[in-house]
Structure 1
């Protein structure tokens, strides 16, 4: 079975302190370095997601944009 291009799956073990190790291949592909801050999103029905680094800045840009959904000042 082949996987779609750009799609990956890994496993990670949760340690006693609740920490997980992101597999090296995933860190390399997504340019995750020691000390980076990751955004972790959770949905009780759909699970946990760790979006790419760009999503962090996009989320804050959207949350603090000057145009608040068409509201007039």
Structure 2
């Protein structure tokens, strides 16, 4: 992997991208390799109007969401 800067906790600076005429960007090869992304993979786009855009691998996000839902109790807690 060339030109990447590794930060703490598995975070990297991979490079810059330009937004094309159709609003498309190309995820840098180093980032695709690092995350194991392949053509046809589905990405979830998260937007925070103050911090920007995050792309999340849909499979990883679904796994994360399922684990949260599995940890929830079946019945609502009764007030004491």
TM-score normalised by the chain length of structure 1: 0.71
| Structure 2 unpaired stretches of 5+ | none
Higher strand share: 2
1:3-56 CA-partner distances (Å, limit 9, x unpaired)? 425331121111111110000000000001000000110010111112344123
Q: Is the 8 A contact 1:41 1:50 kept in 2?
A: yes
Corresponding residue for 1:55? 61
Q: Which has the larger radius of gyration?
A: 2
- The number of residues matched between the two structures is 69
> 2:30 is paired with a residue of what secondary structure?
helix
4+ residue runs over 4 A deviation = none
For structure 1, the 5+ residue unaligned runs are none
